[in-house]
Structure formats: structure tokens, C-alpha cells
Amino acid sequence: MIVLNSSTDSLEIVTSAAGHIEYTVSYADHTSTGVTASNSLGKIATATTTTVVSAPGTGVTRQVRGIMIANTSKSVTNTVTVQIDVSATDRKIITAIVEYGESLHYTDGGGW
């Protein structure tokens, strides 16, 4: 289970090369009054660190339920790292080489 439970926790994807990486992250915010589902979608075209799920607000626990990362670049193989940034300290979750046409998947309860 991937949980962001502090206003200093965010989920990031680090890419090693300029290419085309597409991502979809689904998550749920848990509060004392209920649960709200949401998602984050985007594309990464450079070698960079990208925040894909921001830190939750005060009194919110953010549960990541699914992650899909796809390499759509025909000419670039990318090393992708998924990490939690906790007050500027990175906690690596997984690093994988993702070639063109491949994807990396996570499901809550199923893992990578």
C-alpha cells in the first residue's frame, strides 16, 4: 500500500532520458467525513523529477490505488523511478527500465 499521510509527502516519477512517458495515477482521499476518489494524468518529455500526486491537506490521508506508467517514445528506453518525497528526502519505491511499448503497473493490494 502506498499512503501519503502528511502535508510534506508527495509521489514523484523520475525519468532518466528525454522521451515520452505517460502516466495515470488513481488515489483516494480519506477524511473523517468520507472518501473522495481522484486521479492524476500527464506526460513527461524530459529527464526530470515530476510530482504526480501532491501532498494531501491537513487531516487527509491519500491512498494511492493504482499507477500506470507507459513509454510511448519509439526511440528512447527510460529508467523510471517511483518515489515518495518526504520533506525533500526521497524514499524510492521501485526503479525499472521501461522500453518502447512497455508499461509499469501498480495496484493497491496487488503490488507491482
In this predicted model, what pLDDT tens digit does every residue of 57-70 receive, in sequence order? Answer: 999 999 999 999 99
* Residue 88 per-residue DSSP state: T
CB-based contacts of 72, cutoff 8 Å, min separation 6: 20, 21, 22, 100
Which pLDDT band, with edges at 50, 70 and 90, does 13 fall under? Answer: very high
In this predicted model, what pLDDT tens digit does every residue of 61-94 receive, in sequence order? Answer: 999 999 999 999 999 999 999 999 999 999 999 9
Q: 10 Å Cβ neighbour count for 103?
A: 17
| Residue 33: strand, helix, or coil | coil
> For the whole model, what pTM was predicted?
0.94
